[in-house]
Structures are given as structure tokens and as C-alpha cells.
């Protein structure tokens, strides 16, 4: 069985598990999930690259911010105990909308994934197929580059609902730039 690497965009996956869990996040082992979708493609998951960002922390973190950070640190420590899981962390930015409500966004996470895709051939020369779990068209130039330059097949696992402007509307560009795609369903998490 050919080895593969699974790249997970946690921001996308978190929204999806919340949606599939009807407002409650699905609980599942991230590496088992990566192995399951790899097996679905007749591949062996050698590594999982997991892209995330720690929760926002103010200059003087609030009690809630400290609690969120403590839970996040436990989660990352648990993931990192598996030598086949590589956690890549961006940062969390806090801004405010016109009404003064806080908005939190991951920053630098997509860039980290793009950098890792660009180093794939040098870091893992035996890998011929990879799996990306995302819905972000920002990855298209990197995907097209590794397909053309490195001859690596890119399999996309994603979710979309065909509703314009919904959080799960998906550009055809991402689907067409990948070698193959599959729609994620709740069964992949069980």
C-alpha cells in the first residue's frame, strides 16, 4: 500500500464537525480520521499535518482566555504524543465588527500549509499522493505547482452544500485543481 500524508485545515474541519454534529462538535481521534480517509483511497497514512491556531490571549488574559488556552494546550500535547502527527500553529487575531462584537480569525495557518506543500518533494521524496482536508481555494496555486513540478497526486476531502454565500459553498476551482475529490460525511468521523 502506498504511503500518504494527510494535511488538515483545522478551521474548516472544526466548522464541519460543528455542522455535522448539529451544533455540537463531533468528538473523534484526528489521526484515526486521517487513517480512515487514507484507507478509503487505498493508501497508508504515514503522517498527519494538522494546521491550527491557539485561542486568542489578550495582554492580560481573561479567566475565559486562560481556560481556553489550557484546554488547547492539553489538546495539542495529546496530538503531539503521536510521532506521526505534526502540529503546525499560526496565531489568532481578534478584531471587532461595526457593532463592537469580537471576531476571531486564524492567521498564518494557510501560509504554513502552503510552505509545507512546497517542501513536500524534498522532505518526503517517496510520497506520490497526498490528501488535503479543506475548502480553501487559496491552496490552488500550491496544489497546481506540486502536481506539475513534483508529479504528486492531490486528493481533496471537503464538504459543500451548493448554497451561494454559505459557510460551505465551495469554488469549483478547488475541486478542478485537485486530482480527485471526495465529499466528507459524518461516517468518516465515527
The predicted structure's pLDDT at residue 152:
97
pLDDT in tens, 31-83: 999 999 999 999 999 999 999 999 999 899 999 999 999 999 999 999 999 99
Sign of CA dihedral 73, 51, 45, 38: positive
User: Domain-by-domain residue ranges, the chain?
Assistant: 2-57+65-189
CATH superfamily to which 2-57+65-189 belongs: 5'-nuclease (3.40.50.1010)
The predicted structure's pLDDT at residue 161:
75
* C-alpha closest to that of 134 among 25, 4, 5, 15: 15
The predicted structure's pLDDT at residue 79:
93
Nearby residues of 87 by Cβ (< 8 Å), 6 or more positions away = 50, 52, 76, 79, 80
pLDDT in tens, 79-111: 999 999 999 999 999 999 999 998 988 899 999
CA distances from 149 to 124, 140, 145, 146 (A): 15, 14, 6, 5
The predicted structure's pLDDT at residue 160:
83
Amino acid at each position: 500500500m502506498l504511503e500518504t500524508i494527510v494535511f488538515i485545515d483545522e478551521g474548516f474541519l472544526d466548522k464541519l464537525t460543528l455542522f455535522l454534529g448539529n451544533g455540537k462538535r463531533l468528538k473523534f481521534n484526528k489521526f484515526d480520521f486521517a487513517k480512515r480517509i487514507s484507507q478509503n483511497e487505498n493508501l497508508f497514512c504515514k503522517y498527519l499535518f494538522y494546521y491550527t491556531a491557539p485561542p486568542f490571549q489578550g495582554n492580560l488574559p481573561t479567566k475565559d482566555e486562560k481556560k481556553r488556552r489550557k484546554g488547547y494546550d492539553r489538546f495539542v500535547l495529546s496530538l503531539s504524543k503521536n510521532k506521526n502527527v505534526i502540529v503546525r500553529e499560526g496565531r489568532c487575531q481578534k478584531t471587532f465588527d461595526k457593532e463592537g462584537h469580537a471576531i476571531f480569525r486564524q492567521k498564518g495557518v494557510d501560509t504554513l500549509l502552503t510552505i509545507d506543500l512546497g517542501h513536500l518533494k524534498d522532505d518526503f521524496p517517496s510520497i506520490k499522493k497526498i490528501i488535503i482536508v479543506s475548502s480553501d481555494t487559496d491552496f490552488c496555486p500550491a496544489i497546481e505547482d506540486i502536481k506539475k513540478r513534483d508529479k504528486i497526486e492531490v486528493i481533496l476531502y471537503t464538504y459543500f452544500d451548493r448554497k451561494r454565500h454559505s459557510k460551505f459553498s465551495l469554488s469549483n476551482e478547488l475541486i478542478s485543481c485537485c486530482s480527485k475529490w471526495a465529499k466528507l460525511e459524518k461516517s468518516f468521523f465515527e
